[in-house]
Chains A and B, each alone.
Chain A
């Protein structure tokens, strides 16, 4: 009930004078205490509500206010072993209390990544760091881009005006669009693979006059930068998808929730929206960008909605689903960047043409992010159903050094040992049936000499840091898991295997959302495939 009241108060000023943005801005001010009190007064909220939100996020927290540089602590940078040296190099210019961290800034292809002055950088040498910190020059985020099939997401848009013309042809026939997306069998690219047409169909049936389209651009999965690629190189494909979804279901507002670790994406999407306005290419629809403030759990759809509303981004119970009760309690179509980016091609070429690509159940293409351990890291658009080995050979061109396994699909994705790669193809089913996940299709290599126990500790620590804290299994369980793995490395303590298995089961079946529920998967993969290595840390007594 309390949340509903706050939601109502927040929604009175809605998106133009957004509570969350107000809190984020006030948090950075010199007199943040007074500024935040002014916000709560203006929104008729208790101070505790505003402080509750402020204290949740990495970038708004009081203790992080003086952080000037954020060093990437993402999985890909961690396994690359680049960040200790980077930290030392940065410490030559900043006090250690001015150096914070960011969980992946999307530069997994080169590592040595950090964020400074609202820009992201890679810098491997002392000189490079010095140059960046002194001159604050813009460093373009460059990586290889290629495609092994009909390019849907990586093709070039020749004329923006012609591109948006398609919406005019389709706008009076929403059922046609839904039908084509159904035939195409476009599934949500955020990881869950939910049929996208179903969301449109559910929202179109809702009677409420106010509806929203929300694009989940909080690509928090360390190792994945595909959403970043789309926003920075294919902004209009994303915006068109949202616009078209809006015309289809009768929504007049599209919100992009973009993570704060992607400052370039925020800028480029903003410019693309301005371009649409200038050229007058869209009608009866407005866009709004909401900048994330450093929280992984905001990628969970209901936490994301709460975040936009300025509430603490705790996961909501479902039902009700966002299609019925979404942003500000209104019917909402919520999907991932890559899902929206597919829509133009499907409507232009037809659902059948899309369904002809990929496998029967996993149609179309998928963007794949390869990390710096590949000889040619980068962003590759791969037809679903392609063998992983083919991707590694033809696009990654093999590895720079010895690799024992990969984590595929983000921190909640499976840990795949090298000998299983040959059995797998890039689609939801192949990875699922083998006990892994497609997720965001990010590939983070685990070097042979990188201790698996340390990798697991990293995953548990990540979950403990990023847990929203609402449900007990995730909030307490992730901490206990992290503590056990730390103690086992730092002392002669051995983890009781039965106790650890109990913990994993509780997390898996008891958690409210996919964060606590998903983290046992990679841990269980590691316990199965890297048993010998991990046995030293466990006991059966």
Chain B
């Protein structure tokens, strides 16, 4: 089972899924990550960076800021 964590709570993720898709699938608030240039009908373009999130490779590890719309989990 492949697991990714949102605020330290683990969830299963699908391969190829972007961080944004993953979070929207899990969270009840679909707008929890704000977006501007992203639209499900378009290819992810990555220009506005509004959907940026902090990503760590391990618990409490150093974080990097990444645009969730075009970064696979």
List the interface of chain A (C-beta within 8 A of B).
Answer: 1, 4, 317, 319, 470-473, 509-512
CA distance A392 to B38 in the complex (A): 50
CB-based contact B42/A317 at 8 Å: no
CB-based contact B65/A510 at 8 Å: yes
Out of A1, A4, A319, A512, name the residue touching B49 (CB < 8 Å): A512
CA distance A471 to B65 in the complex (A): 15
| B6 at the A interface (CB under 8 A) | no
**B44 to chain A: closest residue by CB:** A317
Contacts of A511 in B (CB 8 A): 49
**A472 to chain B: closest residue by CB:** B48
Contacts of A512 in B (CB 8 A): 46-47, 49, 67
**A1 to chain B: closest residue by CB:** B43
CA distance A319 to B49 in the complex (A): 16
Contacts of B49 in A (CB 8 A): 471-473, 510-512
Out of B46, B48, B52, B64, name the residue touching A317 (CB < 8 Å): B46
- Give the dominant DSSP class at B's interface: loop
| B45 at the A interface (CB under 8 A) | yes
Contacts of B67 in A (CB 8 A): 317, 512
Contacts of A4 in B (CB 8 A): 43
**A509 to chain B: closest residue by CB:** B65
**A516 to chain B: closest residue by CB:** B49
Known A1-B42, A317-B70, A319-B72; contact A472-B47, beta-carbon cutoff 8 A: yes
CA distance A472 to B36 in the complex (A): 11
CB-based contact B72/A317 at 8 Å: no
A-B contact pairs, 14 of them (CB 8 A): A4-B43, A317-B44, A319-B72, A470-B46, A471-B46, A471-B48, A472-B47, A473-B49, A509-B52, A509-B64, A509-B65, A510-B49, A512-B47, A512-B49
List the interface of chain B (C-beta within 8 A of A).
Answer: 42-49, 52, 64-65, 67, 70, 72
Contacts of A317 in B (CB 8 A): 44-46, 67, 70
- Give the dominant DSSP class at A's interface: loop
CB-based contact A470/B72 at 8 Å: no
Out of A1, A319, A470, A510, name the residue touching B52 (CB < 8 Å): A510
CA distance A319 to B19 in the complex (A): 13
In the complex, the 6 A-B pairs of residues with the closest C-beta atoms, listed nearest first: A509-B65, A317-B46, A317-B70, A510-B49, A470-B47, A1-B43
Chain B nearest CB from A392 CB (Å) reads: 34
**A475 to chain B: closest residue by CB:** B47
Contacts of A319 in B (CB 8 A): 72
Instruction: List 14 extra interface pairs beyond A1-B42, A1-B43, A471-B47, CB under 8 A.
Output: A4-B43, A317-B45, A317-B67, A317-B70, A319-B72, A470-B46, A471-B46, A471-B49, A472-B48, A509-B52, A509-B64, A509-B65, A511-B49, A512-B46
Chain B nearest CB from A329 CB (Å) reads: 13
CA distance A342 to B42 in the complex (A): 42
**A315 to chain B: closest residue by CB:** B46
**B69 to chain A: closest residue by CB:** A317
Chain B nearest CB from A515 CB (Å) reads: 14
Contacts of B43 in A (CB 8 A): 1, 4
CA distance A470 to B48 in the complex (A): 8
Contacts of A473 in B (CB 8 A): 49
Chain B nearest CB from A52 CB (Å) reads: 15
Contacts of B65 in A (CB 8 A): 509-510
**B64 to chain A: closest residue by CB:** A509
Contacts of A509 in B (CB 8 A): 52, 64-65
Contacts of B52 in A (CB 8 A): 509-510
CA distance A473 to B49 in the complex (A): 8
CA distance A315 to B51 in the complex (A): 18
CA distance A346 to B70 in the complex (A): 37
CA distance A1 to B41 in the complex (A): 10
Chain A nearest CB from B14 CB (Å) reads: 16
Chain B nearest CB from A4 CB (Å) reads: 8
Contacts of B70 in A (CB 8 A): 317
Chain A nearest CB from B41 CB (Å) reads: 10
CA distance A4 to B67 in the complex (A): 21
Chain A nearest CB from B58 CB (Å) reads: 19
Contacts of B72 in A (CB 8 A): 319
Chain B nearest CB from A153 CB (Å) reads: 34
CA distance A373 to B25 in the complex (A): 59
Chain B nearest CB from A131 CB (Å) reads: 49
Contacts of A472 in B (CB 8 A): 47-49
**A470 to chain B: closest residue by CB:** B47
CA distance A512 to B72 in the complex (A): 15
Chain B nearest CB from A518 CB (Å) reads: 15
Contacts of B42 in A (CB 8 A): 1
Chain A nearest CB from B70 CB (Å) reads: 4
Chain A nearest CB from B52 CB (Å) reads: 6
Chain B nearest CB from A313 CB (Å) reads: 14
**B49 to chain A: closest residue by CB:** A510
CA distance A317 to B70 in the complex (A): 7
CA distance A510 to B49 in the complex (A): 6
**A4 to chain B: closest residue by CB:** B43
CA distance A497 to B48 in the complex (A): 25
Contacts of A1 in B (CB 8 A): 42-43
CA distance A427 to B65 in the complex (A): 27
Chain A nearest CB from B54 CB (Å) reads: 9
**A469 to chain B: closest residue by CB:** B47
Contacts of B45 in A (CB 8 A): 317
Chain B nearest CB from A324 CB (Å) reads: 13
CA distance A93 to B42 in the complex (A): 53
Contacts of A510 in B (CB 8 A): 49, 52, 65
